[in-house]
A and B are shown apart, each in its own frame.
Chain A
Amino acid sequence: MEKDVAVLGVGAHPWGKFPGKDFVDLAVTAANEAFKDAGMGWKDIQAMVCAETVWSGKSGLYAGQFVSRALGSTGIPAVNIQNGCASGAVALAVAAMMIKSGMCDIALAIGGDVSPEGFLPALAGEDPLSPDSLRFTAIGATNPVHWALDCRRRMEEYGTTETHLAKVKVKNSRYGSSNPLARYRKVFTLEEVLNSAVVCYPLRLYEICATSDGGGAVILSSMDMARRYTSRPVTLAAATLGNLVYGDPTVVIGSHVAYKVNSSVPMASEVVQSSRKAYEKAGIGPEELDFAELPDNSSWHELMYMEALGFCGPGEAEHLLDDGATELGGRLPINVSGGFASFGEAVAAQGLLQVYEIVRQLREQAGPRQVQGAKVGFGQVYGAQGNAGTVIVKR
């Protein structure tokens, strides 16, 4: 029988642009918030798993060593994780494994990131053999191009309209407006979104997440240890991982410019993999979730992921959106944190930010964004090259 794992504390540095602060500063702030939240200190942490940042040079690849040194070199293990935009969730999953295995009783999953301005560039630089450079040099395909291609097909197949895409942003901006951690607090109207510049048709400026700086930290512990700190610990019901399946029809960022499609493989297969494992592990199906945090890198993502995650059938996401089912008070509120639409992405930290929101919701600490009576929260992130992490937390 696997040991249960508790989420003892969560912390975050606000999302935005903070000239003069590096990823270590952001991670340390998040860690200190998490220590305060859990009622413990850095010296109580027995192991840490740190999401790497690729935007901070080689020091970003040793993020765990930099962050642990800044917190104080206590000698605990510090593992570095690189899974692109899914890194935060992967760090959490590895920290959970450390506790389940008995390696330690208290572990910290952490990540801080300082993103470049504008489009995220190729990681391989000018390497002509890397498909991640090829797509920039030979095609001019920035990340949103990939999303726009799949979104155009969705419009053709399911009748998704530009208004649907704008509605996602309007909904998420309403929640982001009351989230003190969010970078963008403005409540957008449909007209404002629909009149914003086209970045890559059909996706507009306000429908694509910005590149932000931010930090997140989550403290996990064994249940026995958790009871020393709180009488009502929340439980990490699942933290599962997935990877791309051969034949996936999705236009995946960074892995290839030409690829084989197999009609029996679903879109976002990496997310299908991780989420189905999470439902099984938690013994909780998508119909039992009280709210979900999805990676809305663009408005299209939120709609597509609702289906990939089994929240609804193919082509039904727009109906749920139109019916208000994904709003606060609806059947399954989505991105009540404000989502990436209000935060922007901070690659190494966003998976942990989702857990922050989920835990605050489960403890009824979300203020005007509170999902009433929330008992089960869900988080999903995906990373470049096709990898994914799913988190389910329950009260």
Chain B
Amino acid sequence: LTIGLVELPENLKIMGQLTGCKEEDLKIGMDMELVIEKLFEDEEGREVVTWKFGPAQAGKK
């Protein structure tokens, strides 16, 4: 599990799980984007989602 701190332009920092990237490819200062992803399935099989961050896709910031 990889957890990071992402800084928004408004000087807001948000802690969250990081996704879509190998740990060794993560660098402090790299551009990230919000990803909504499954966290777990509850007892009735429903998906519980959470906020995560992944590397920003090219051409998009």
B-binding residues in A (CB < 8 A): 135, 137-141, 145, 149, 152-153, 156, 200, 249, 251, 257-263
Query: Contact: B11 with A138, CB < 8 Å?
Result: no
B→A interface (CB under 8 Å): 1, 3-5, 7, 10-17, 28, 39, 50-51
Do B12 and A258 touch (CB < 8 A)? Answer: yes
Q: Is the CB of A251 within 8 A of B12?
A: no
- Complex contacts, B3 vs chain A, CB 8 Å: 139-141, 145, 149, 200
A–B Cβ pairs within 8 angstroms, 7 of them: A139-B17, A141-B15, A149-B4, A200-B3, A261-B7, A262-B11, A263-B11
Q: How far is the CA of A108 from the CA of B60 in the complex (A)?
A: 62
Chain B interface, DSSP helix/strand/loop, else mixed: strand
How far, in whole Å, are A137 and B49 apart by their CA atoms in the complex? 11
Helix, strand, loop or mixed for chain A's interface?
mixed
Q: A149-B4, A153-B28, A261-B7 are in contact. Are A138 and B13 (CB under 8 A)?
A: no
Cβ A257 vs Cβ B15 within 8 A? yes
Say yes or no: B5 contacts A138, CB within 8 Å. Answer: no
Determine the distance from Cα of A98 to Cα of B28 in the docked complex, in whole angstroms: 49
Q: Which chain A residues lie closer than 8 Å to B50 at the CB level? A: 138-139
Q: Does A152 lie within 8 Å of B15, measured CB to CB? A: no
Query: Whole-angstrom distance from the CB of A245 to the nearest CB of chain B?
Result: 15
Please name all residues of chain A whose beta carbon is closer than 8 Å to the beta carbon of B12 when the two chains form the complex: 258-261
Contacts of B15 in A (CB 8 A): 135, 139, 141, 145, 149, 251, 257-258
Interchain CA distance A263-B39 in the complex, whole Å: 33
CB distance from A112 to the nearest CB of B (A): 33
**Nearest CB of chain B from residue A201's CB, rounded to whole Å:** 8
B4, B14, B39: the one contacting A258 at CB < 8 Å is B14
The chain B residue with its CB closest to the CB of A156 is: B28
Task: Name the residue among B1, B3, B4, B11 with the largest chain A CB count within 10 angstroms.
Answer: B3
Instruction: Write out the residue numbers on chain B whose beta carbons fall within 8 Å of the beta carbon of A139.
Output: 3, 15-17, 50
Give chain B nearest CB distance to A205 CB in angstroms.
Answer: 17
Excluding A138-B51, A152-B28, A258-B15, 19 further A-B contacts by CB distance (< 8 Å) are A138-B39, A139-B3, A139-B16, A139-B50, A140-B1, A140-B17, A141-B3, A141-B15, A149-B3, A149-B15, A153-B28, A249-B13, A251-B5, A251-B15, A257-B15, A258-B13, A260-B13, A261-B7, A261-B13
